């Protein structure tokens, strides 16, 4: 669910998930695993800030 929302918002903004991971300093494919394992809140906040959305929007 979380990765699906991140991917959808990235697609809407014309940003690849790979680029998001690279620019935020995350390891390759780490965000794509967010549906199976919960990331730390700091990582989620970094992604929300980068995408210009709230954490709540990522989690819904």
> What digits encode the pLDDT tens for the residues 22-45?
999 999 999 999 989 889 999 999
DSSP 6-53: HHHHHHHHT--HHHHHHHHTPPTTTGGGTTTSPPPHHHHHHHHHHHT-
Rounded-to-integer distance, Cα 38 and Cα 19, Å: 21
pLDDT category, 5, cuts 50, 70, 90?
Answer: very high
Give the confidence band of 60 by pLDDT, cuts at 50, 70, 90. Answer: confident
CATH label, 2-59, candidates 1.10.260.40, 3.90.1150.10, 1.10.10.10, 1.10.357.10: 1.10.260.40
pLDDT of residue 45: 97
Give residue 19's pLDDT band: very low, low, confident or very high (50, 70, 90). very high
């Amino acid at each position: 669910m979380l990765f699906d929302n991140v991917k959808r918002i990235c697609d809407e903004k014309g940003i690849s998930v790979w680029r998001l991971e690279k620019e935020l300093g995350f390891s390759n494919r780490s965000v794509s695993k967010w549906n199976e394992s919960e990331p730390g809140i700091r990582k989620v906040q970094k992604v929300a800030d980068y995408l210009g959305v709230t954490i709540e929007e990522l989690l819904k």
